[in-house]
Structure 1
Amino acid sequence: MIVQNKLKIFNDPIYGFITIPNSLIFDLIEHKYFQRLRRISQMGMSYLVYPGAHHTRFHHALGCMHLMQKTVNVLRFKGVSISEDEEQALYIAILLHDIGHGPFSHAMEHSIVNGVSHEQISLLFMEQLNKEFNLSLTLAIQIFKGDYPRKFLCELISGQLDMDRADYLKRDSFYTGVAEGNINSQRLIAMLNVVDNGLVVEEKGIYSIEKFLMARRLMYWQVYLHKTSVAAEQLLIRVLKRAKELSGQGVVLQASKALQFFLTHEINLKNFNSETLNTFAKLDDYDIVSAMKEWQYHEDFVLRNLCEMLINRDLLKVKLKNKEIKPEKLQDHILKLKDKYDITEKEASYFVFTGEISNQAYQTKNQQINILYKNGKVQDIIKATDQLNLKALSKTVTKYYICYPKEKL
């Protein structure tokens, strides 16, 4: 019998070598549910703006696990007790935290799956894997859901200073070439500690936190909420919505079996059973791209043009405003398009639409970032810092956009 070496090493462009801590983690990484993340882009349609942004959720999940290993070592060194079971659960929870993402990361949630978030699908995947791995994911699921009594462990998975943010800011900054997002995640981790069951940052790490919050703000405006990325993602959502609408009218569209299933079925959280989950696990970016390559020649005016725009990167015109877009301005663009191409108002609204984007770098309500002073005092970062900008970062800034076609479709 051939014995497989399960303690392998990944070479990561950000951190260098990433080690797999044990055979259970190896088996989870090898599982088809997790391998699918190699075919899910981390940043959706952002590659249309930043050509280097082709990294995947697979890269990101491994990076998060690597940072979690560093964090466990740092906290144990500082006298925080973390059992072997808790350590294992942390690695599993952070490794699988994004496993429920659909093609191009967020587009599915707003188009062909009805009100089911990627976090809910991640949980369904984890529960399915728990059955397959003899309930060895039970504690990880508890921490992932935030139900575990040791609050700081849950904060490491989902909080203001979780390993998810510590990795994606640095990774996305690297692959997009946007230097403003390049945080020092190693330094942040080295400054972590635990007080009263909550995560804190030691006083000497205060400037690293300031840099982290500023990087988060800049990355959102410059990258994640870049107007062209937003417009491209909205187009993709509309492609899938139109495809689902046509399928509902009995039009047969060329698509993979997995995509066909979601186009022809109304899927919500109540009927998201194990069969649906297995079909979802077969769906990735490639299904959507190959479908759009076919649909760009479809006779339907809306579907054809939307797909052509994305395939050839001939996108809509986008304008950002500080005030809400006036309805008459929107209506004006819709009527122009309707008359020009002799289409219905509903069809025209696929190409002309408004929306809003908002950015809040630091949330004061849910989980604060607390600074630990040498005398044992704990204080919120906003009160602890001499950087006046941080208070402004806790306010939500909203911008409004309008998208409409350039001269000619």
Structure 2
Amino acid sequence: MVKTNKLNVFNDPIYGFIGTPNELIFSLISHPFFQRLRRISQMGMSYMVYPGAHHTRFHHALGSMHLMTKAIHVLRMKGIEITEEEENGLLCAILLHDIGHGPFSHALEGFVLKDLSHEKLSMQFMLELNKQFNGQLETAISIFKGDHHKPFLNQLVSSQLDMDRLDYLKRDSFYSGVTEGNINSERLISMLHVVDGHLVLEEKGIYAVEKFLMARRFMYWQVYLHKTGLVAEQLLVRIMQRARELLQNGDQLAASEPLLFFLNQNEAVTMDKTILETFARLDDVDVLAALKNWQTHDDFVLSKMCSMLLDRRLLHVKIKKQPMDQQKLNEKLQGIIQKYDLSVAEAANFVFQGEISNKAYNQKQQAIYILKKNGKISDVLKESDQLSLKALSKTVTKYYSCYPKEAV
């Protein structure tokens, strides 16, 4: 691989110094599409709960690329062939794997661009960058899509033990201060191997992977699905929905050009270069600026929700194993209707319920396989002596209900 003569070193609080391994990586990081990730929160509205959680997708992408360099080195040391072209493809694919995230990451996914996940948008960005860089991302795209003839390359980018997860668990744990999520990514990477073209983990790494899966469970219930972060993101979605309704009814809203463009799109759009470039101009700043403008809007529902979110005067939220009794929810809804003289549809922005679910380990989707000392391959659940790991393979569903504190 050609080394860059443009020395660019990032000082990362997790891993220390992260360098740019070649000219292409340097140019991708410098591109406006990628620089935008500096303005996309990694953990959405989680900073409402954990004040330190202000890191960005930019941090995470660089960290994931750093771990990929470690994984490539380990596998080569064990005799696994990874060509320079494949190495470059891996680094580009992991660097760009989250480039399709919108404002506040998962919070508004599927709303800004209907029916388009961040993975699909990441692919659109990669295809456009491939044109701009004269086809240098062909291998990266093949790996990202899972089309490459070496399955383990895709598994390093997207699987249940990929460099993405190894970075975000360690990074999000660090910035949130939730130590239960801290994992030993170096240990896990050192135990990686490849058998019959597929990624496996050596048997002596079984305890590290057990800790990894348990940490993922803790982080989801304690951080990613924390009730306060959940209600903040639900409010944000409802604010954007209300803004879209008002625009459709002919109301005027002050907002940036990119945000207004997508708020005026109520149906799924056909992706083209113009839409992609408009999306690339949209980030957290657009949304926060809009909220600050809208908190004084004439529409009570919009202004009230914006003030609640900006001032952290959020809705009361309960998470239980069973949904709230519909009659009780209706009583709270009627109370808000009478207090603020709202319609049922308007009051539903303040009184609602839903469900959340989590499965820390999916045995049916790219399972984590353990390479035993006798050379046989076995699923991690069969080799683990922790009964709790069996429970992690089951989907756990919980139900939340939200309503104003005065309706408690």
TM value normalised by structure 1:
0.97
Counterpart of 2:378 in 1: which secondary structure?
strand
Alpha carbons 1:111, 1:238 under 8 Å: kept: no
CA shift, 1:408, in A, is: 7.6
Further displaced range: 120-129 or 109-118: 109-118
Is the contact made by 1:112 and 1:244 (CA closer than 8 Å) also made in structure 2? no
Q: Distance in 2 between matches of 1:50 and 1:211?
A: 23
Aligned partner of residue 376 in structure 1, secondary structure:
coil
Once residues 386 and 292 of structure 2 are traced to their aligned partners in structure 1, the CA distance between those partners, rounded to angstroms, is 50
Contact 1:371/1:381 (8 A) holds in 2? yes
Is the counterpart of residue 152 in structure 1 residue 152 in structure 2?
yes
Question: Aligned-pair distance for 1:156?
Answer: 0.7
Q: Which moved more, 1:144-153 or 1:211-220?
A: 144-153
- Given that residues 335 and 407 in structure 2 are in contact (C-alpha distance below 8 angstroms), is that contact kept between their aligned partners in structure 1? no
> Cα deviation per residue 1:357-391 (whole Å; 9 max; x = unaligned)?
11111100111111111210111111111111110
Alpha-carbon distance in 1 for matches of 2:190, 2:94: 19
Match of 1:359 in 2: 358
Q: Using the alignment, how far apart are the partners of 1:386 and 1:262 within structure 2?
A: 50
How far did 1:145 drift? Answer: 1.0
Instruction: Name the residue aligned to 1:201.
Output: 201
Three-state SS of the structure 2 residue aligned to 1:44 is coil
Distance 1:100 1:246 in 2: 27
Q: What count of residue pairs does the alignment treat as equivalent?
A: 405
Q: Report how far residue 310 of structure 1 moved.
A: 0.6
Query: What is the distance in 1 between the residues matched to 2:79 and 2:258?
Result: 49
What residue identity is the alignment partner of 1:44? G
Identity %: 62
Whether 2:115 is the aligned partner of 1:115: answer: yes
Deviation at 1:407, TM superposition (A): 1.1
SS in structure 2 of the partner of residue 106 of structure 1: helix
2:281 is aligned to 282
| Paired AA for residue 317 in structure 1 | H
Name the CA shift for 1:112/1:246 in 2 (closer, same or farther; >3 Å): farther
Residue 20 (structure 1) aligns with: 20
Deviations 1:130-174 (CA, angstroms, capped at 9, x unpaired): 000001111111111111121111111110000000000000000
Q: CA deviation at 1:260?
A: 1.1
What is the distance in 1 between the residues matched to 2:16 and 2:233?
Answer: 32
CA distance in 1, matches of 2:24, 2:111: 35
Shift of 1:326: 2.7
Q: Does 1:315 align with 2:327?
A: no
SS of equivalent to 2:105: coil
Moved more, 62-71 or 142-151: 142-151
**Matched position secondary structure for 1:407:** helix
Maintained 8 Å contact 1:248/1:264: yes
- TM-aligned CA deviation for residue 5 of structure 1: 4.3
**Per-residue CA shift, 1:75-131, capped at 9, x if unaligned?**
000000001111000000000000000000023324332111111111111110000
CA deviations over 1:203-228 (Å, ceiling 9, x no partner): 11000000000000000000000011
After TM superposition, give the deviation of residue 55 of structure 1 in Å.
Answer: 0.2
2:236 paired with 1:236: yes
Distance in 2 between the 1:274 and 1:381 partners?
A: 44
Paired with 1:112 and 1:238, the residues of 2 have a C-alpha distance of 12
CA distance, structure 1, for counterparts of residue 64 and residue 164 of structure 2: 6
Question: How do residues 383-402 of structure 1 correspond to structure 2 at under 5 angstroms?
Answer: 383-402=382-401
Secondary structure of the residue aligned to 1:399 is strand
In the other structure, the counterpart of 1:219 is 219
Alignment partner, residue 177 of structure 1 = 177
Contact 1:7 1:23 in 2 (8 A): no
Contact 1:7 1:21 in 2 (8 A): no
Contact 1:100–1:125 (CA<8 Å) still a contact in 2?
A: yes
1:34 corresponds in structure 2 to 34
Query: Aligned partner of 2:315: which letter?
Result: L
Cα distance, 1:324 vs structure 2: 2.2
Q: What is the distance in 1 between the residues matched to 2:172 and 2:107?
A: 19
Residue 96 of structure 2 aligns with which residue? 96
Does the CA contact (< 8 Å) of 1:231 and 1:316 recur in 2? yes
1:75 counterpart residue number: 75
Please name the residue that 1:6 is paired with: 6
Q: CA deviation at 1:267?
A: 5.1
SS in 1 for 2:106: coil
Answer yes or no: is the 8 Å Cα contact 1:112–1:241 preserved in 2: no
TM-score, length-normalised on structure 2? Answer: 0.97
> Which range moves more in the overlay, 107-116 or 148-157?
107-116
Contact 1:309-1:315 within 8 A present in 2 as well: yes
Shift of 1:327: 2.4
Residue in structure 2 matched with residue 347 of structure 1 by the alignment: 346
Moved over 3 A (4+): none
Q: Secondary structure at the match of 2:386?
A: coil
Q: In structure 2, what is the equivalent of residue 327 of structure 1?
A: 326
SS at match of 1:336: helix
Q: RMSD of the alignment, in Å?
A: 1.3
Q: Which segments of 5 or more consecutive residues in structure 1 lack a partner in the other structure?
A: none
